[in-house]
Structure 1
Amino acid sequence: MQTSTPPRQPLQTPRAAGVAGIVFALLLAAAMVLIRLGIPQGADAVSAQRPDPAQLSAVRAALMLVPFAGIFFLWFVGAVRSHVGDAEDRFMATVFLGSGLVFTATMFAAAATAAAVLDTAHPAGTSPSRPTWDFGQHLAYTLMTGYAMRMAAVFACSASVIGHRLGILPRWLTLLGFLTTLVLLFVSSAVPWAELVFPAWSLLLSAYIVMESLRRSPAAPAAPAA
């Protein structure tokens, strides 16, 4: 006799996606805030002062958060794709997955190069020289605001298109995703703090997924009568 395994409950995946997305959004927002506090003048400003220990501590704290943000982001992407399954065409699924992977890789590259500049280009316990600090500052900002945020824009746009086509996202959240795309494409590299719209959008999307999962969670089936 063949034994059948119970079917997987479909609402477990979107709930996991929402929780992972919330953790990712909070970690990424914290890392971005620490970077802005540690390097407040931005990548294009030139200061004659050397970076102080408080700035270096803020940057190092941000760099420690980036790997964990990337891990939860990959979990978020995988859970969403598992939930969508074959309902979406290959084109949008490829754009969604590819932009998420490139965003993660670029974010990791920015964090790794910044950490290398801080840890290896000067004696331990001292601040990096002004040219070294400027190089690391420009490189980190260029990778994050110039490249990673563009991939984040593609990710937000593809996720909004998929959610609209499948009817799983409300109209206001879809429009917010498109607005986030425009900000990340054309504003984030020029306006300080504009990159925070991506973790804010991710937080709203993830919170909506969790609330919808809880609201539609089926009641436990009653035991059959003897």
Structure 2
Amino acid sequence: MEPTTDRLKTPRAAGMAGIAFALLLAAAIVLMRIAVPSGSADATVDPDNRWAIQVSLEIVPFAGIFFLWFMGALRTHTGAAEDRFVATVFLGSGFVFVATLFAAAAAAGTVLSEGTPSEFGRHYAYTLLSTYAMRVAAVFVLATSTIGRMLGVFPRPLALLGTLVGLVLLVVGSGVPWSELLFPAWALIVSIHILRARRGTARTPGQDRPHPS
């Protein structure tokens, strides 16, 4: 009885953590994009928008924590059936993404602390986020979609969507503004699927009970 309960709780934890991560990361990206210009070299940060940088910096650590919870719950759900090579890429890309995300937030913090934000600080923060963090996130998406497809955890359309999102993030990188939002959008879709799949699994035992004659 206990193993079944654990199997039902793990997808729920992954789904809830994934939704929290997706919403927090999306909010942090939007706030950072609004507050810190990424365009011309002479662009300046509007003093009225400095609050957005502060809120974004407060959000990022919680987004990273929920992402680690999301990643751990997903790996526990796959269990010993996962491919070790793909699982290693899955774990490695996840950890590097969180580290790079925190580094990008720290770089953005220098923009907030400086009286006159420098072009270097602004460019460094965006390079870490859009070029490095998002490309590592692309590897995580591709590894997760591969594991989901191999184990039958993800339906074929969801696995194909993950492959497409991963390739776009990997190839496009910082070339298209706001493309970073593809990652939290994918995480949100996967989390909703996990919760819906768990709800269907939880109803199955009740449906199998024999009717009294």
Q: Same fold (TM over 0.5)?
A: yes
Aligned equivalent of 1:29:
26
Q: Do the aligned partners of residues 213 and 6 (structure 1) sit closer, same or farther apart at CA in structure 2, a change above 3 Å counting?
A: closer
Q: Does 1:7 align with 2:3?
A: yes
Q: Does 1:106 align with 2:91?
A: no
CA offsets 1:49-98 (integer angstroms, 9 cap, x no match): x4222221111211111000000000000001111111012101100000
- Equivalences, count: 207
Question: Structure 1: which 5+ residue stretches go unaligned?
Answer: 122-127
Identity over aligned pairs, percent? 55
Deviating beyond 4 angstroms after TM superposition, the runs of 4 or more aligned structure 1 residues are: 218-222
Q: Distance in 2 between matches of 1:7 and 1:88?
A: 18
1:74 to 68, 88, 110: 68
Q: Distance in 2 between matches of 1:184 and 1:166?
A: 24
Q: TM-score of the superposition, structure 2-length normalised? A: 0.91
- Say whether the 8 Å CA contact 2:32–2:52 is kept in structure 1: yes
Q: Does 1:166 align with 2:151?
A: yes
Q: What is the deviation of 1:47?
A: 2.4
Q: Give the residue type in structure 2 aligned to 1:139.
A: Y
The structure where helix makes up a greater share of residues is: 2
CA offsets 1:129-188 (integer angstroms, 9 cap, x no match): 2xx431221011000011000110000000000000001111111111011111111213
Q: Give the residue type in structure 1 aligned to 2:54.
A: R
Aligned equivalent of 1:139:
124
Aligned equivalent of 2:165:
180
Q: Does 1:16 align with 2:10?
A: no
User: What is the SS of the residue equivalent to 2:135?
Assistant: helix
Q: Which moved more, 1:81-90 or 1:151-160?
A: 81-90
Q: Distance in 2 between matches of 1:155 and 1:116?
A: 28
Q: TM-score of the superposition, structure 1-length normalised? A: 0.86
Aligned equivalent of 2:42:
47
Aligned equivalent of 1:125:
none
Q: Distance in 2 between matches of 1:33 and 1:205?
A: 21
2:141 to 128, 137, 156: 156
User: What is the SS of the residue equivalent to 1:11?
Assistant: helix
Cα RMSD after superposing both structures? 1.9
1:209 to 187, 194, 203: 194
Q: Give the residue type in structure 2 aligned to 1:69.
A: A
Matches of residues 83-98 of structure 1 in structure 2 within 5 Å? 83-98=77-92
Question: Structure 2: which 5+ residue stretches go unaligned?
Answer: none
